[in-house]
């Protein structure tokens, strides 16, 4: 079943499910994904026949798929939070937002929230028909390649938000292990000796990894797991000072939030090779190198073989 046909059958668009999702979650309980989706479809008045409508290519149920996109948008705006795998609940910000929008809201209302722009990825071929009817991917006038690009970008954006929320909600040791695993996936160090953690008292250093397989040079790592606060210049300078103590030339500073302009300037002015990786870039790297992510589905695009007809 195509996106267009699913809509024609009477299944609400994904953005029309955002308000019902918050309404269902407003009781404050923890909702398992399946129970949440079912309750939202009940509230939205989606019949059993429409719930059984599936997309031909993926086999996914169209109505549940659209509720999932609505949930992802609300999570990105921090109106919902992931309690643990597959379990969600409303946040304090979500309750306040729902109270201020009792008659419903649009994606534009979500985009006006500060949390929405935190991990904004510039996407081509993703447009909104109007403020009251945003679409998850490109509109029907886009060519197939644009539609696929838009769908891939929208999916990765949703995954990036989920990744960062999970890293923020996890403990600091898990975050450091994730950073070390990412560096290994990127080709630094060796599989047998990925990284040694530093001892307490090493200052702003959380670990060190070989820059190459022979260990001829090393990269020193700092990992700060923040929810909202930005990493300031003083924190970066402390890291630079720790590199001096270690007589190190290379350093990488990871955070789940962002760096202030002064912090970026401090790193740029340093004589050392220091890379600052903020939350948005961290999520992109995790997706690219398949750390904490996996491929759910592959799409093959066919075209006429011109050589066959020569």
Higher per-residue confidence, 84 vs 139: 84
Residues 6+ apart with CB under 8 A from 275: 251, 252, 253, 267
Delimit the domains of the chain by residue range: 3-169, 172-277
Q: Which CATH class is domain 172-277?
A: alpha beta
Residues 6+ apart with CB under 8 A from 223: 172, 175, 176, 179, 206, 207, 253, 254, 255
Most confident of 16-20, 202-206, 303-307: 16-20
Q: Are 258 and 229 in contact (CB under 8 A)?
A: no
Nearest-angstrom CA–CA distance, 290 and 22: 31
Find the angle CA(190)-CA(206)-CA(229) to the nearest 5 degrees.
Answer: 125
Q: How confident is the model at residue 191 (pLDDT cuts 50, 70, 90)?
A: very low
- pLDDT tens digit string along 251-300? 999 999 999 999 999 999 998 899 999 999 999 999 999 999 998 888 78
- pLDDT tens digit string along 7-35? 778 899 999 999 999 999 999 999 999 99
Q: How confident is the model at residue 60 (pLDDT cuts 50, 70, 90)?
A: confident
Find the angle CA(229)-CA(233)-CA(235) to the nearest 5 degrees.
Answer: 70
Checking if the pLDDT of 186 tops 80, the result is yes
- pLDDT tens digit string along 126-145? 333 233 333 344 444 456 66
- Burial status of residue 125 (CB atoms within 10 A of its CB: 0-12, 13-18, 19 or more): middle
Nearest-angstrom CA–CA distance, 89 and 83: 7
Checking if the pLDDT of 51 tops 90, the result is yes
Greatest alpha-carbon pair distance for the chain in Å reads: 71
pLDDT mean across residues, the chain: 82
Q: Are 23 and 98 in contact (CB under 8 A)?
A: yes
Hey, how many other C-beta atoms are within 10 angstroms of the C-beta on 161? Answer: 24
Hey, how many other C-beta atoms are within 10 angstroms of the C-beta on 204? Answer: 21
């Amino acid at each position: 079943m195509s996106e267009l046909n699913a809509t024609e059958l009477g299944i609400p668009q994904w953005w029309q499910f955002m308000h019902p999702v918050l309404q269902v979650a407003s009781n404050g309980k923890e909702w398992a994904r399946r129970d949440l989706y079912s309750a939202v479809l009940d509230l939205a008045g989606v019949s059993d026949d429409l719930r059984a409508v599936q997309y031909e290519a993926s086999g996914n149920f169209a109505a549940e798929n659209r509720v999932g996109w609505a949930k992802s948008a609300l999570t990105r705006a921090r109106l919902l939070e992931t309690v643990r795998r597959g379990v969600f609940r409303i946040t304090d910000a979500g309750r306040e937002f729902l109270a201020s929008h009792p008659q419903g809201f649009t994606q534009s209302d979500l985009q006006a929230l500060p949390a929405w722009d935190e991990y904004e990825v510039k996407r081509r071929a993703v447009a909104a028909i109007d403020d009251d009817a945003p679409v998850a991917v490109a509109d029907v006038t886009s060519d197939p390649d644009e539609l696929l690009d838009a769908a891939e970008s929208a999916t990765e954006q949703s995954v990036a938000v989920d990744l960062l929320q999970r890293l923020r909600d996890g403990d600091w040791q898990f975050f450091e292990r994730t950073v070390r695993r990412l560096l290994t996936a990127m080709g630094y160090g060796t599989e047998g000796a990925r990284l040694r953690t530093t001892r307490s008292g090493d200052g702003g250093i959380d670990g060190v990894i070989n820059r190459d397989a022979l260990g001829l040079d090393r990269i020193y790592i700092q990992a700060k797991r923040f929810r909202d606060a930005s990493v300031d210049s003083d924190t970066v300078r402390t890291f630079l000072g720790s590199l001096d103590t270690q007589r190190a030339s290379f350093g990488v500073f990871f955070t789940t939030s962002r760096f202030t302009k002064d912090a970026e300037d401090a790193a740029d002015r340093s004589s050392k090779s220091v890379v600052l990786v903020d939350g948005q870039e961290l999520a992109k790297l995790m997706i690219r190198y398949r750390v904490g992510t996996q491929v759910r589905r592959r799409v093959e695009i066919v075209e006429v073989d011109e050589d066959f007809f020569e």
